[in-house]
Structure 1
């Protein structure tokens, strides 16, 4: 049975992805802070393993990975948008919180997965980037900065993983119908969105490739988003 750990598994893209992998017969490790939601998911699925942990806590994350055991795929997904506004209106503590989750937390998870996969002879890491790694929204300095950094993390893992059979790719998702996007849509009711299941299906496609193939970068988005074109 193939195995995957999903961070940020209690809601949004992470939860939709975890549930799809469970439907497809994978063993799924569920990492998030909200233990009660993970327990609820694990109760409903025989092959779900609740691993409550804060992605910024290196010790808790190491314990979660050790508990789960063999790992074929990591979906490095947990993220936070943070406070919107120009940089001089962003409190330093907010910047540090977004940096902690979106970059430090993803580094911790990738480091643990890389080590486990190197020891076992291979695996795959899928980082959740964002369209903000390419085209950004106004007032998104914290989120945008971290998502650009994830592209660098993805490239580094891809290069350094080659000798060990570790593939790494990045999925950049635009306007999937999650709580985060719903909050943005309050101020922009005409925002074009897509069902979150399409993002989950794209992660599954990346994960199911044979070891000799890799999706390096994949963009999946609501069709009418203004990602391509000029205003």
Structure 2
């Protein structure tokens, strides 16, 4: 087991990529803090982990709130004795919206969750990892931050910021033995997908988007989980500051 007795926080762990990754970490021996605003979904992830013989605890977290993020890390330390891996996965999407129709409230909310949430998770994880002599941070970016689509300004900008944040932190934290990487999924089959394709003609939007992916399909949550576990593992010990595109070739 690659992660036996390591302590992992997964934000956005109530569903989709977060749930799949929490289950995958637990399946390889990690003790997992499942962090999310969605208590029922988060508790279900914890139940599924326990049912499979793993160990997990739920932490109610709004990642845009500093006190919630501080408590999340304290939960990992108090329940499991430390923190080895942080997967900053929580995020919110947006439907196709012209730039001049984006409200400042929507823009600010997207950045509060998708960027500030990543920063706050890192802020409180870093001292714990530094004390332990190292650790791993993985952030969920998006191919939208590399190859934007029209109508996705705020979301694409937020994910581009996550990629730059990842690289900046990787440089700063390397002397402390903390690796920082990101994953950039293409559209993934999760509960957020209908928002991504919008309300006009979602089936046509899906068909056209699939044509832009050389491998011809969307991601599954498990595709992303496998990439995250690789980046978190000792097999990736010499990898930091990387944004791994898990996109079926869309960004080629």
Q: 2:103 & 2:95 partners in 1: Cα distance? A: 9
Write out aligned runs for 1:1-231 (5 A).
1-44=5-48, 45=50, 46-69=54-77, 70-185=82-197, 186-187=202-203, 188-190=205-207, 191=210, 192-209=217-234, 212-215=237-240, 216-223=242-249, 225=250, 227-228=251-252
Distance 1:141 1:184 in 2: 13
Give the secondary-structure state (helix, strand or coil) at the position aligned to 1:179. Answer: coil
**TM-score in terms of structure 2 length:** 0.84
Q: CA RMSD in A?
A: 1.7
* Moved >4 Å (runs of 4+): none
**SS across alignment from 2:94:** coil
TM-score by length of 1: 0.91
1:23-62 Cα offsets, whole Å, 9 max, x none, are: 1221111111011221222233241110111001111211
Whole-angstrom CA distance in 1 between matches of 2:102 and 2:237: 44
Deviations 1:172-225 (A, max 9, x none): 1112211223443525231331322111111111111258422522111135x4
Query: Gaps spanning 5+ residues in structure 2: where?
Result: 211-216
User: In 1, are the aligned partners of 2:37 and 2:60 still within 8 Å (CA)?
Assistant: yes
- The count of aligned residue pairs is 226
